[in-house]
Amino acid sequence: MTETRTIRDSNGRTIECELVRQVEIDGQAIGVMTPVDTPVVIYVNGKDGDPCQAADPWWEHPEKVRTLADKLRGDGVELILSAVTLTVRAEDPNLSEPSPAEVDDDEGPEEGSTHAVLVEVDGQYGLAIPIDPLLFLAALDEHGGVALDEVADRDVRTRFAAMLLEPAQ
């Protein structure tokens, strides 16, 4: 059974995650985490028609978030303002995961794209599901954990990356 933890960010938002891997750095348990719910990103259509130009961070786009949440709610999908990223949870779990057919058809990403479009509003912006899994680091504690900040925790991130590159003993 996969271990799950509730991870917090510096703004107090939470996200339920699966613990992928755990290591110890200077006595602190560090976990590689992946969201339980499906991560999504807001995109805006670029001048060149590229539909996956990220409009992050999501909290700087409250009107887009509200419009997208309303549109998804009608399809039985909940948009969650999570720590680290936006996520979606569907009443039917198959709705929030892009199938290979969706990824390959005209509405899915083009070859070389990194996202599958979930919903679009007026051809201007929408939500997309990243094709690659979202992984991030968290300092684990008895309450779940705290997502590591990219800048403030750069030393821990660098040391973690070096541990991954060390040959197995």
Inter-residue contact 102 to 109 (CB < 8 Å): no
pTM, full prediction: 0.73
Q: Where are the chain's structural domains?
A: 4-35+134-165, 38-130
CA-closest candidate to residue 69, choices 57, 56, 61, 78: 78
Give whole-number Cα distances, 28 to 24, 57, 142, in Å.
5, 28, 12
As a whole number of Å, the CA-based R_g of the chain is 17
pLDDT 10s digits, 127-158 = 888 888 888 889 999 988 888 876 567 787 78
pLDDT 10s digits, 80-96 = 988 888 899 987 655 54
Give the Cα separation of 106 and 108 in Å (integer).
6
Inter-residue contact 109 to 115 (CB < 8 Å): yes
* Neighbour count for residue 34 (Cβ, 10 Å): 15
Q: Using 50, 70 and 90 to split pLDDT, how confident is the model at 4?
A: very high
Cα 24 versus chain centre, distance: 24
